[in-house]
């Protein structure tokens, strides 16, 4: 240690001695001494004096090391003139020492300012010296990756009358080259994080995210604290519909982010998304209020409450991650989602199609330059973005009359975007792990007199052709969820059920192609207005049926005449019967028909309940029921059948409907009512059934309606 300190002091005093020499004395200093002084000053970051002594060294003797060190100083000055001088110095150094890789690397880096093609050739020379040089392989892969991204989905047109030429074929050649160089790095160094990240994003941009997943999974195992690795793995999981994997990776990435980055990613981006919903009022909200609004916003837009994650939030994180990856401009410190393209991506997601129109110059009396333009197509809207300043910052395309530099998209995208986000704040089509499918369902509400709540029966039909038949049962394993929220999406009630088997007796067949096995779910809830969700997730393929809508849980009267919902059914039987159908109401078992569709081979049962009838002096409850049947789409559609019913039904005044009147007597004030309807002489179509119930003892009348399809 003492020897090292002594050496440092000798060098220090030698430098002071040389710096203090007169001009005539300096003339006698050798090139090597000048070089040593300059190198020492560089270590002290004194580039001004270092440059002076390196130049003096070169005046004495042009050596490759001095040329190299001086070139580094000139490059850092970041001017065109100094870069040109540095280029000449490096070329001289390489001429002297042609196999010095450091000289070649610096020249290749310098050439990237001028031309990626020239830089690529310089990197090729490095590989001729050392075929395993990671820096050269990586930079060559990155150049080809940039070329791929630049030309993929690009088109070129010689003139307006000629067809557009797609450049995808040439872009895919760049893709293969980039992949080759990144994979070669990984062959020599399987832990190279940058190579893994770049080849993964390369795969994603080529539409092959599944190939990126195993690479990124290896990366997060090697570097569990690598934020970008978790973020990009989350993105690739999402692209391949691994929702739970995406959720877990995004969670890890957010934890690893710096506080400012995390706030920008998860808070500022959402704040920007909800601004149009509140306008200038949002400026008056506190941060706590905005965070509460964001929580409500995500809860309201969650398309599947059965999962432990919010699919809409996953889509948002994926949009932000992709926008930051692809649309940021480092030289301006512009975060990707804040760019024009980034905000469109943030709100409306990935376009259906996007093309890049290559720049062109139309020769003539006055040069007309068509700027590089990206055009994004959605189903019912388009946006154009133009590289106005040739710097990669694509701005909304806007008309520029009289300007010789103009976009190749002829509309004002900026004004259009400002308009669209007012009327359509966002565009989101739910994405699930499995396929989406539809389920016919029906919700009927009854009064639960014992608990002063409302019973909701949600009946639904599953096509049993999709199930397995096992021991007199249909094996159709699925999870169901019923969720009721208030207007602020606070949970009022929820019920989750796993169902594996459904009885074969609970099937209905509308026709040869519509064969369903029926199930019903019961949920009791207190009356309120808000929102309802009925969801199913199949076990076999993660298929999803999700139905969300505004809903009002009825408040049945405790004292006045009231009526339940109308339940359409294929079968009814006593509760004591061996047949146990999906719905049991006191003494009756019911096989509901949630499709509300019947044919001539079906029985049609109607079931409902009456509440709070008034007794007569003999404690008897007297009711008059009027059932009116009217065809919905064609009001005159049942006229052909009317004559055959004249002896049974009384006609309405406009002779466009049929009414059946029946009188009942009950011994209870809240009776169950059911009857069978015969529609065999009716034309096929959709009918509206209206039940008018009159309490004869009190004179009060109430109504309810139901739609039925007759085939």
Alpha carbon separation from 37 to 5, 48, 235, 291 (Å, rounded): 18, 12, 52, 60
pLDDT per residue as tens digits for the range 148-188: 999 999 998 766 667 889 999 999 999 999 999 999 999 99
DSSP state of 505: G
Which residue spans of the chain are classified as CATH 1.25.40.10?
132-150+168-256
Side-chain-facing half-sphere of 442: CA atoms under 13 Å = 21
Sign of the alpha-carbon dihedral angle for 312, 314, 320, 322: negative
Q: What is the Cα–Cα distance from 254 to 265, expressed in whole angstroms?
A: 8
Side-chain-facing half-sphere of 679: CA atoms under 13 Å = 32
Model confidence at 645: pLDDT above 50: no
Average pLDDT for residues 616-633, to the nearest whole number?
A: 94
Asked if residues 357 and 155 have their Cβ atoms less than 8 Å apart, the reply is yes
Q: What is the Cα–Cα distance from 406 to 388, expressed in whole angstroms?
A: 8
Share of the chain above pLDDT 90, in %: 78
Asked if residues 153 and 170 have their Cβ atoms less than 8 Å apart, the reply is no
Asked if residues 585 and 531 have their Cβ atoms less than 8 Å apart, the reply is no
Q: What is the Cα–Cα distance from 414 to 395, expressed in whole angstroms?
A: 9
Q: What is the Cα–Cα distance from 324 to 679, expressed in whole angstroms?
A: 62
Q: What is the Cα–Cα distance from 711 to 709, expressed in whole angstroms?
A: 7
Quickly state the pLDDT bin for 11 (edges 50, 70, 90).
Answer: very low
pLDDT per residue as tens digits for the range 604-615: 999 999 999 999
Beta strands in 99-158, from DSSP E residues, in sequence order:
154-156
Question: Kind and range of the H or E element at 522?
Answer: strand 515-525
Model confidence at 25: pLDDT above 80: no
Q: Write down the pLDDT at residue 649.
A: 41
CA nearest to 691, candidates 629, 631, 633, 642: 629
Which residue spans of the chain are classified as CATH 2.60.40.10?
434-555
Model confidence at 67: pLDDT above 60: yes
Q: Write down the pLDDT at residue 332.
A: 66
557-711 sits in which CATH class? mainly beta
Question: Kind and range of the H or E element at 544?
Answer: strand 544-553
132-150+168-256 sits in which CATH class? mainly alpha
Q: Write down the pLDDT at residue 646.
A: 38
As given in the structure block, the two tokens for residue 298 are: 């995500």
Asked if residues 235 and 322 have their Cβ atoms less than 8 Å apart, the reply is yes
For the question of whether the overall pTM of this predicted structure is more than 0.85, the answer is yes
Q: Is 61 left (phi over 0), alpha (psi -120 to 50) or beta?
A: beta
434-555 sits in which CATH class? mainly beta
């Amino acid at each position: 240690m003492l020897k090292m300190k002594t050496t440092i002091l000798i060098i220090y005093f030698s430098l002071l001695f040389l710096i203090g020499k007169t001009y005539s004395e300096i003339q006698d200093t050798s090139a090597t001494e000048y070089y040593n002084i300059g190198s020492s000053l560089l270590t002290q970051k004194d580039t001004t004096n270092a440059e002076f002594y390196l130049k003096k060294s070169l005046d004495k003797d042009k050596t490759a090391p001095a040329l190299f060190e001086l070139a580094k100083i000139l490059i850092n000055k970041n001017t065109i003139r100094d870069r040109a001088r540095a280029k000449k110095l490096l070329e001289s150094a390489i001429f002297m020492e042609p196999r010095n890789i450091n000289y070649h690397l610096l020249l290749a880096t310098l050439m990237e300012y001028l031309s990626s093609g020239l830089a690529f050739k310089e990197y090729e020379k490095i590989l001729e010296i050392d075929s395993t040089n990671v820096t050269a392989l990586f930079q060559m892969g990155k150049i080809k990756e940039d070329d791929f991204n630049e030309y993929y989905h690009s088109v070129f047109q010689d003139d307006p009358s000629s067809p557009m030429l797609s450049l995808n074929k040439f872009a895919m050649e760049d893709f293969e080259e980039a992949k080759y160089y990144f994979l070669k790095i990984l062959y020599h160094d399987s832990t190279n994080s940058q190579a893994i990240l770049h080849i993964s994003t390369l795969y994603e941009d080529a539409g092959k995210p599944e190939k990126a997943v195993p690479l990124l999974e290896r990366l997060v195992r090697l570097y569990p604290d690598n934020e970008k690795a978790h973020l990009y793995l989350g993105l690739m999981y999402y692209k391949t519909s691994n929702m739970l994997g995406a959720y877990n990776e995004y969670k890890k990435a957010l934890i690893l982010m710096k506080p400012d980055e995390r706030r920008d990613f998860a808070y500022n981006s959402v704040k920007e998304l909800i601004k149009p919903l509140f306008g200038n009022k949002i400026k008056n909200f506190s941060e706590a209020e905005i965070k509460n609004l964001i929580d409500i916003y995500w809860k309201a837009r969650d398309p599947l409450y059965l999962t432990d994650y919010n699919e809409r939030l996953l889509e948002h994180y994926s949009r932000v991650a992709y926008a930051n990856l692809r649309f940021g401009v480092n030289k301006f410190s512009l975060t990707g989602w804040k760019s024009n393209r980034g905000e469109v991506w943030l709100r409306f997601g990935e376009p259906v199609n996007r093309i890049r129109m290559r720049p062109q110059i139309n020769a003539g009396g006055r040069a007309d330059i068509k700027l590089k333009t990206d055009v994004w197509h959605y189903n019912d809207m388009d946006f154009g973005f133009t590289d106005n300043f040739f710097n990669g910052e694509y701005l909304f395309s806007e008309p520029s009359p009289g300007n010789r530099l103009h976009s190749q998209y002829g509309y004002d995208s900026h004004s259009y975007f400002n308009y669209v986000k007012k009327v359509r704040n966002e565009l989101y089509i739910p994405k699930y792990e499995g396929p989406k499918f539809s389920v016919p369902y029906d919700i009927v509400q009854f009064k639960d007199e014992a608990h002063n709540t409302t019973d909701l029966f949600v009946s639904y039909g599953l096509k049993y052709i999709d199930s397995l038949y096992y021991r007199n049962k249909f094996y159709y394993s699925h999870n169901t969820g019923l969720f009721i929220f208030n207007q602020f999406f606070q949970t009022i009630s929820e019920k989750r059920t796993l169902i594996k088997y459904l009885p074969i007796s609970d099937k209905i067949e509308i026709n040869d192609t519509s064969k369903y096995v029926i199930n019903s779910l019961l949920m009791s809830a207190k009356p309120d207005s808000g929102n309802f969700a009925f969801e199913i997730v199949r076990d076999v393929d993660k298929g999803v049926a999700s139905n969300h809508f505004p809903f009002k849980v009825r408040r049945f009267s405790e004292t006045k005449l009231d009526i339940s919902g109308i339940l359409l059914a294929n079968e009814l039987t006593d509760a004591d019967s061996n047949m146990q159908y999906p719905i049991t109401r006191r003494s009756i078992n019911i096989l509901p028909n949630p499709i509300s569709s019947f044919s001539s081979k079906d029985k049609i049962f109607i079931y409902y309940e009456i509440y709070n009838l008034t007794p007569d002096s003999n404690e008897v409850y007297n009711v008059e029921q009027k059932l009116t049947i009217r065809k919905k789409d064609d009001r005159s559609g049942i006229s052909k059948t009317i004559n055959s019913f004249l002896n049974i039904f009384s006609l309405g005044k406009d002779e466009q409907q049929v009414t059946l009147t029946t009188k009942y007597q009950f011994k209870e004030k809240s009776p169950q009512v059911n009857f069978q309807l015969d529609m065999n002489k009716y034309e096929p179509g959709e009918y509206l059934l209206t039940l008018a119930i009159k309490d004869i003892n009190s004179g009060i009348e109430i109504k309810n309606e139901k739609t039925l399809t007759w085939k």
